[in-house]
Amino acid sequence: MTLTPRHKLLIGIGAALLVIGMTIYLTRDLWMPIPDNTTYRDSNFSFVYPRVYETKEYAAGTVTVGDTIDDAFSPLVEVIRYESDRDVALPPTFDAYIKRQAQALCGSDGAESVTCTDVLVAPYTSTQGLIGQELSLTLNRKNLISGTTTTTTFGPVYVFNTTRPVEDPSDILRYRAIFVYPSFASVVSATTSPALLTQIIDSLTLPNGVSTTTKK
Are 158 and 122 a contacting pair, CB within 8 Å?
no
| Res 216: pLDDT | 42
Low-confidence ranges of the chain (pLDDT < 50): 214-216
| Res 125: pLDDT | 92
User: Alpha carbon of 87 to those of 61, 154, 199: distances in Å?
Assistant: 21, 29, 36
Q: Considering the domain 37-203 in this protein, what is its CATH number?
A: 3.40.1000
| Res 12: pLDDT | 57
| Res 46: pLDDT | 92
154-184: b (≥16 Cβ within 10 Å) or e? bbbbbbbbbbeeeeeeeeebebbbbbbbbbb
pTM over 0.75: yes
| Res 36: pLDDT | 82
| Res 124: pLDDT | 93
